[in-house]
């Protein structure tokens, strides 16, 4: 069976001590990824420090590596969460008491603050919420009606 060191230049054969202790980020990460373009994604993640050693096994974290590469390239990754580790689903259900609660992930994403007001317009099978512009003293512009 062929080992990874057979595909690497002599200066790339390593021991754990020679691998980065901390994951690379930013421009340094992009430069290293470019240098390692001939390797697989998993191998690139390893040589850029996206690994951990557990016992005698090395575990490569390809997901964090890819997120870091995207971030280094300026691609925003949407990690909207509601503080409890859940991802927003853009669905709600009516509670027993008849209330519908919109989670914090949505209000934070919209930049809403306590006290912001909304006009409620019920429809046949929908509800429209329109934020009331306080500068208009609660009057909704004609083009929004």
Q: In this model, does residue 34 exceed pLDDT 90?
A: yes
Separation CA 32–CA 20 (nearest Å): 11
Whether the Cβ atoms of residue 144 and residue 130 lie closer than 8 Å to each other: yes
Place 2 in a pLDDT band, splitting at 50, 70 and 90: very low
Q: Stretch 89-116: mean pLDDT, rounded?
A: 86
Q: In this model, does residue 16 exceed pLDDT 60?
A: yes
Q: Stretch 11-28: mean pLDDT, rounded?
A: 76
Q: Stretch 42-69: mean pLDDT, rounded?
A: 90
Whether the Cβ atoms of residue 49 and residue 20 lie closer than 8 Å to each other: yes
Rounded to the nearest angstrom, the gap between the alpha carbon of residue 45 and the centroid of all alpha carbons in its chain is: 18
Give the pLDDT of residue 10.
43
Q: Which of 26, 72, 65, 70 is nearest to 47 (CA)?
A: 65
All structural domains of the chain, each given as residue ranges with its CATH number in brackets, are 4-72 (no CATH), 84-145 (2.10.260)
Mean of pLDDT over the chain: 78
């Amino acid at each position: 069976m062929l080992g990874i060191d057979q595909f690497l230049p002599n200066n790339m054969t390593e021991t754990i001590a020679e691998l980065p202790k901390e994951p690379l980020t930013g421009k340094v990460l992009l430069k290293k990824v470019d240098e390692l373009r001939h390797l697989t994604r998993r191998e690139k993640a390893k040589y850029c420090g996206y690994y951990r050693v557990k016992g005698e096994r090395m575990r490569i974290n390809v997901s964090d590596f890819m997120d870091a590469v995207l971030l280094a390239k300026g691609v925003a990754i949407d990690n909207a969460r509601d503080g409890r580790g859940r991802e927003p689903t853009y669905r709600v259900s009516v509670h027993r008491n008849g209330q519908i609660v919109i989670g914090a992930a949505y209000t934070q994403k919209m930049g809403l603050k306590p006290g912001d007001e909304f006009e409620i317009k019920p429809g046949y099978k929908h509800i429209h919420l329109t934020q009331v512009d306080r500068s208009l003293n609660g009057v909704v512009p004609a083009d929004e009606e």
